[in-house]
Amino acid sequence: MEFLLQQVINGLTIGSVYALVALGYTMIYGILRLINFAHGELFMLGSYLAFSFIASVGLVNVIPNLFLAIVVVFILSMGLVGFTGVAIERIAYKPLRHAGRLPAVVSALGVSIFMQNAVMLTYGTRYKVYPEGIIPTMAWEILGVEITLMRLIILGIAISLMFTLYFFVQKTMVGTAIRAIALDHDTSRLMGINVDSIIRLVFVIGPALGASAGIMVGLYYRQINFTMGWAYGLRAFTAAILGGIGNIPGAMIGGLLLGVAEAFGAGYVSPQWKDAIAFTILILVLIFRPTGLLGERVAEKV
């Protein structure tokens, strides 16, 4: 029982990171029908920017209040990554918006390779390590399950960000506009929605959420490298598909589910089978529910 609970906690921690990254895939797919393969790299960039703010700029030492310092690091990194997201959209996707889906996907792959190399050349090839002890190492044992402060922080931040996004999309005017664009660009434009500015906004939100996940990975595992965007990007993409791509709650549930599936695979079978089990689940879902767990069959526009 303890073992099971511990594995659920292990899975939820990493799963909430997947979920945050998956939101970026799902939102951009939802409005542009584009799989943004550069999204994993935006996640990685967030991690590196926060590393710079903490280790090089020394923000944690400059600002006396630790909580405030961390908040500033999050806001700065997420903001910069959001800005990068908009820049990528403007340079790599917007000129191709009417060229069909394939050119945009190829362009996304190009951006992904470009960003990896840019980070590699800027920061060097060695693994970077976040300074020690930013988040105090506190741990509690509840029902035989070891829970650290960092895990609570990850779960807390991830869940609150996800719910904020959910309510933003469901309850506000701008959110309604996002949903409208997801259905039909041209009609939305006729209704007076500024389609381009909404797309820009989505390219701020998605990457910024990805960046927040990157920062938490940096703070938790402490070790980051310029190639990690690919591995996390792939898992998050899987999570988005699992939940039904284009569907926001789907991305959240898909992420958490994938995390727990991986933890169970590693814990009950063998760590070597971890990926195999996670991806087998994906294949099964796609066979029996091709639109993902929460996806609905949407009539294709012609």
Partner 1 sequence: MKRFVVWLCVALLVVALAGCGQQAAPAEEEEPAETLEPIKIGVQGPISGQWAYEGEGFVDAVSLLAEQLNAAGGLLGREIVVIPGDDKGDPKESALVAQKMVAEGVTAVIGSYSSSCTEPASAIYDEAGIVHITPSSTATRLTEKGYPRFFRTCFLDDRQALFVSEFLRNELKFSKLALLHDNTTYAKGLADWTKLYFEERGGEVVFFDAITPGEKDFTPTLTSVKATNPEAIYFSGYFPEGGLLAKQAKDLGIDAVFMGGDACNNPEFVQIAGLEAAEGAMISTAPLPHDLEYPEAAKFIQDFKDKYKEDPTSVYTVMAADAFRIIAEAITKTESIDPEKIAAYLRNDLKDFPGITGPINYDEKGDRLGSIHLFYRIDANGQFVAYE
- Binding region for partner 1 (CB under 8 A): 3, 6-7, 10-11, 13-14, 120, 124-127, 129, 132-133, 137, 139, 141, 146, 148, 150, 217, 221-223, 225, 227-228, 231, 262-267, 270-272, 274-275
Name which of 99 and 120 has its Cβ closer to partner 1: 120
CA-to-CA distance for 121 and 118, rounded, in angstroms? Answer: 5
Question: Between 21 and 228, whose beta carbon lies closer to partner 1?
Answer: 228
> Least distance (Å) from partner 1 to the CB of residue 63?
22
The DSSP result for 243-295, as a single string, is H-TT-HHHHHHHHHHHHHHHHHIIIII-GGGHHHHHHHHHHHHHHH-TT-SS-
Residue 265 C-beta: closest distance to partner 1, Å: 8
Place of tokens 């921690």: 13
Nearer to partner 1 by Cβ, of 20 and 34: the residue is 20
CA dihedral for 282, 287, 293, 299, sign (positive or negative): positive
What region does 152 belong to: left with phi over 0, alpha with psi -120 to 50, or beta? alpha
CB-nearer residue toward partner 1: 10 or 238: 10
Nearest to 34, CA basis, from 192, 176, 189, 202: 202
By C-beta, is 71 or 276 nearer to partner 1?
276
- Whole-number minimum distance, CB 155 to partner 1, in Å? 14
Q: Shortest approach of partner 1 to residue 17 CB, angstroms?
A: 9
The gap between the terminal CA atoms of the chain, to the nearest Å, is 52
Identify whether the C-beta of residue 213 lies closer than 8 Å to the C-beta of residue 231: no
Q: How far is the CB of 137 from partner 1 (least distance, A)?
A: 6
Q: For partner 1, which is the closer residue by CB, 66 or 139?
A: 139
Dihedral angle over CA of 51, 65, 136, 47, nearest 10 = -20
Q: How far is the CB of 138 from partner 1 (least distance, A)?
A: 11
